Amino acid sequence: MLGSQRVVKKLGMLFLDLVYPTSCPLCGKRLVFEEAGGLCPSCLSHIPKNLPPFCPTCGRNFIGTEAAIQCGACEGRAFLFERLWFLYPYEGRVREVLHILKYRGRKPLANALANPLIAFAREHLKTFHFDWILPVPLFRRKKRERQFNQSELLAKALARSLTIPFSNENLIRNRATLPQAGLPKEERFENVQGAFHVRYSSLYAQKSLLLIDDIVTTGATLTACAEALRKAGAARISVLALARG
């Protein structure tokens, strides 16, 4: 009888390891049940953060002056969104974690990464008002293949924590596009041009929107999303991303 209980217990642990992996994907350290599926506190605390003050347009660390309120890379350029914030530079451990999340399907990592995203928003976005929080959408076929949209998981957790309405079916990706990774900058903008559409404009008309993405590189995808949201009549569009390249 005792042997049978051990077998059942071992099978249960193997199932938990499969559904909610109990080791840190970066260092292999065993996780306690509350941390299962995520990162160990040590690895999470050692990920370099993007620190304020921020350039309001690209979100990078920048100390403005009376003569320049934007960093040199953004000054004089027109953007379709008002502000952009991001938590981490897209390098090292963050790059590895997001790769594991997106391409190995380790969905519980999104829940672990939502916590620092929420903490960041509570600290740096508390003076801003948003009517809706929405994710950058995936094309329906890609979402079926991956079985989740990591940006949607982050956005949903943030909206729930901040008690802001969550919207995930109004801004849609209306066609498949080539993977942005590996494309030159100019081709990235062409690749996603016109790829997004708002189904019901009245939902976003004259509203302040917070768009959530996992990784920002050239900003091509965000620009295409913002263009669709502007056409729908959105008054203000801000972006919060987990990482930026």
The tens digit of pLDDT for each residue in 40-72 reads 888 888 899 999 999 999 999 988 776 678 898
pLDDT digits (tens, 9 = 90+) for 186-200: 888 888 899 999 999
Is the Cβ–Cβ distance between 25 and 97 less than 8 Å?
yes
Average pLDDT over residues 207-218: 96
Q: Identify the pLDDT of residue 90.
A: 94
Quote the pLDDT of residue 214. 95
Which residue do the tokens 């050692």 mark? Answer: 46
CA geometry: angle at 59 spanning 79 and 93, to 5°?
130
pLDDT of residue 34: 61
Q: What is the distance between the alpha carbons of residues 192 and 180, in angstroms, rounded to a whole number?
A: 9
Q: Which amino acid, residue 40?
A: C
Q: How far is CA 170 from the centre of its chain?
A: 18
Give the residue among 166, 178, 177 at the shortest CA–CA distance from 212: 166
Q: What pLDDT, on the 0 to 100 scale, is given for residue 33?
A: 64
Q: Does residue 5 have a pLDDT over 80?
A: no
Sign of CA dihedral 132, 137, 141, 146: negative
pLDDT at 78: 81
Burial degree of 118 (CB within 10 A; 0-12, 13-18, 19+)? middle
- Whether the pLDDT of residue 119 is over 80: the answer is yes
Peptide bond connecting 48 to the previous residue in cis, omega within 30 degrees of 0: no
CATH 3.40.50.2020 range(s) for the chain read 56-244
Of residues 81 and 33, more confidently modeled: 81
Pull the structure tokens for residue 122: 């509570």
pTM, to two decimals:
0.87
Q: Considering the domain 56-244, what is its CATH architecture? A: 3-Layer(aba) Sandwich (3.40)
Mean pLDDT of 144-155: 93
How far apart, in Å, are the Cα atoms of 35 and each of 10, 30, 119, 121, 160?
19, 9, 17, 22, 20
Please give the C-alpha separations between residue 117 and each of 113, 154, 162, in angstroms, as whole numbers: 7, 8, 11
Can you tell me the distance from the alpha carbon of 150 to that of 19, in angstroms, rounded to the nearest whole number? Answer: 17
